[in-house]
Structures are given as C-alpha cells and as structure tokens.
Amino acid sequence: MGRKPCCDKIGMKRGPWTIEEDHKLINFILNNGIHCWRIVPKLAGLLRCGKSCRLRWINYLRPDLKRGGFTPDDEDRIIELHSRLGNRWSKIASHFPGRTDNEIKNHWNTKIKRKMKLLGLDPITHKPIDNNTEQTHPNQSPDPPVNAQATNDDHVLLNSFESLFEDMGMESLFQIPETNMSSSLASNPSMSSVDESNSMNISTSESSYLPEDSTSFEQWNVLDMVDPLVPWDLFGNLQDNSFHL
C-alpha cells in the first residue's frame, strides 16, 4: 500500500510552456497515448509534474481543440447552461465539442459576466438587477465580435507541429483525407478512457471552424496511424522501480 506522490515541486519547471516542451509532450502522447499522467513527464523527458502535463494537453495541445472566439449563439447557450448548471464548467464545456472548461470559464468571467451586468442581469441568479444605474442600451455591445478569429498563435503552433511531424518522418500523414477522431480513439483504449466528458469525438461538420488555407488540426487523426514506439504495457514493470519521486 501507499503510492508515491504524483510529483514533488523540487526541480519541477513552472510557468509558460516552451515549444520544445510542447513537442516532447505531443510526441510522447502521439506515440503512446495517455495512460498515467504521473509517468508522462518522466518518459517524455519533461521537468513538469503530471498534473501540469495533463492541463497543458487538455487546455492547449489536444488535437480536437476549437480555437477562436465564441459566437453570439455560443454565448447564449453558455448563459442558458449556466443558469441551469451554475459554475460547473466541465459540464457546460461538454456541450461544446472542442472547448475546454477553462476556456468557457475564462470567457464567462471576462466577457459574458460583464455583458450581463451591462444588460442589468445578475450573472449569478440570471435575474434582473434592480438597479437602474447598471442598465444600458440593449443593442450596446461592450466587446467587439471576436468569433471565428484564427489567431497567429494557431498558425505558429501549427507550423511547429508540422515541423515536428516532418522530424518524425510523418509528413505524408498530413495527406490523409478522412477524419474521424473517434475511430482513432476507439483503436486506442488508453486514449478513449481518459475523459469521456471531454470526448474527443470530432465530426467533419464540427471541424468547419478550421481555416481553409491551413493544415487543419483535424489531421491529427495521425493518432490512428502512429505505431507505438513504446507500448504502455512495458511501463508497468518500470513503474515501481523507476518512478519513485
């Protein structure tokens, strides 16, 4: 009995992730899937704790992530879901394929909350605030529309991913036309069991947000095509001897 703690803080790197770290994590997960976050940083050669790796993958590196702003329809839906579910961001995020709970939470706190206040609505109760000073013109929108913006960061990251795949000799995989992330996950039990609420199912219609002129993230279905370099089964024997922290 008695497992080792997930990580200690000594010697662990913190703060923003570098491209190199992203490459290591992506490379490792593409080849091995996700089985146990605790040992991911060790095997991937990262000075991060497993928790940090998990967060980075889920919130930023996951191939099915939908980037860019929320549409007014999305915002309406978030408000409606929030009125029913409260601050259960993961539940709300499960209604938005490709969106993370963190992303929705941030959007709520920075945009929607403010809009609701300007419209005289209490963001907690969703009921009108009895305060005329907070009323504003219904058509007034404090924030410019930000939907469907593909950021430069996306392209920078995408380019770096392409470089990585080229380094791995996988550039030809970018030409695979069929996209079905769910099938790729079905073939990889360790991936499909990671987080059902953040299902990595992605349909072609759902991927329509992707810029036409770039290599889209949906081509990450290479997950299905990569031969594992190191099967997870092999890690089981190593765990007790090699991963004490």
Partner DNA sequence: AAGTTACTCAACCGCTATGTA
Partner DNA sequence: TTACATAGCGGTTGAGTAACT
Output the smallest distance, CB 14 to DNA, in A: 3
Task: Tell me whether residue 173 or residue 201 sits nearer to DNA (CB atom).
Answer: 201
Output the smallest distance, CB 175 to DNA, in A: 29
CA-CA distance, 241 to 51, in Å (whole number)? Answer: 21
**Distance set, CA 153 to CA 15, 64, 86 (Å):** 18, 16, 31
What single-letter DSSP state applies at residue 148? T
Task: Tell me whether residue 51 or residue 126 sits nearer to DNA (CB atom).
Answer: 51
CA-CA distance, 53 to 77, in Å (whole number)? Answer: 30
CA-CA distance, 114 to 137, in Å (whole number)? Answer: 14
| Residues forming the site for DNA (CB under 7 A) | 1-6, 9, 14-17, 36-38, 50-52, 54-56, 59-60, 87-91, 101-103, 105-107, 109-111, 114, 143, 194-195, 197-198
Helix segments in 4-125, DSSP class H: 19-32, 40-44, 50-56, 72-85, 89-93, 101-107, 113-118
Task: Tell me whether residue 66 or residue 221 sits nearer to DNA (CB atom).
Answer: 66
Output the smallest distance, CB 221 to DNA, in A: 21
Output the smallest distance, CB 198 to DNA, in A: 6
Task: Tell me whether residue 18 or residue 204 sits nearer to DNA (CB atom).
Answer: 18
